[in-house]
Structure 1
């Protein structure tokens, strides 16, 4: 994870030192971009770079911001990579039988499909989880939260995904949350879909 990086990032000097990165993670924890005067509804590569420049006086390129996000567990992954080995076949079948209709509906409404999951950051005290959403178009959205026992899928995070255009957004949720931990109500523009997972209970 990013908190363990030393010296280089993608072969170039790391703009942030380790202590700065740990501080950045704490600053991001449970907070939205708007609290720092930034316009994005959720954290993105752009808003992350803007925060780094404002707080540490360091210029972080979008590519560097993307490398940090990848180290934090936010990147484009194949659907089968979002499930355990026991679920890979079920996910492959789901991609053939269910997913085409989801993708078609998103195209018809001019919307996007986001893949949502959660990753634990190692080397961070207190513990921190990265909640991420990555779209088929490569858009990355994230927030950092303090983990809890059986945490729910945050409703506020989902409501911010469509952005200001209000277009229908399809959200594929991996096994990080049981169905009982999904919010009961979201806006009409958000359609939730469970990715097959043996870790999903309830």
Structure 2
């Protein structure tokens, strides 16, 4: 399956697939404008227009990847063997195949080729071979092994579309919420220029300071939050939900993770009494990548220098100041929803 993002980063073969899908969508009438096609497939309207004109002029062949001749002998690995190797890399980790750790490195690919095809290659040769076929070294995305892919699929295909449809029918708003903590003993102090070999010293607070943040965001750029120093309890969550309902001025469908507080009896009882104001929907477990509010958390931790806070009060003040600034920047909040893994929220 081709995952759409920045099409320029896809392999030539994957780019061809994207071009053909764009043209097919325009030809079938599923999309009527270049802008609609660009938004659907994550490409630019200008590219859509270029591909469409090429297709109308020269047909499907005009969208194909140009064949480049290569000097020297052909590849030792056949097309069939190459497909087998790539499928093995997609379906398994080196650890599962007993040839290495959890990540595919040049060394583990060398061993896979030797084991499956019986051909010995150098690590440098394997690196060139992988790049030739559209592979690049990338930082892996973290996924909990407890995550249930079937639950995630059901959320994306059925549950969330139903929530979004109900919200539109009720003229309600959908808010994504999450909680996080800021700690002075884990946050890095940042970077500073210094002569090579002379590591700079930055004074930080040696005490362990912590504040907690509960926030909620919407696709229109609204942001609600609360900063507190105590534990995250049902009472804290209920107060936050009540604040959202009051400040939104309309019914709110709140989407949250499956934290025990969110599933507590006290929260359930309060929601039962306030069904006309607010409803709570829980995402699949161990799936933080589905929540756009996680991007606000990352933004907060990146810009608030927690390690330099003098006290808990100071740390809470810096967190509130940052979140108040984001409230005045709805375009940034809206931008969180355009990340590839949470773009589904814009339906």
The TM-score with structure 2 as length reference comes to: 0.30
Answer 1 or 2: which has greater helix percent.
Answer: 2
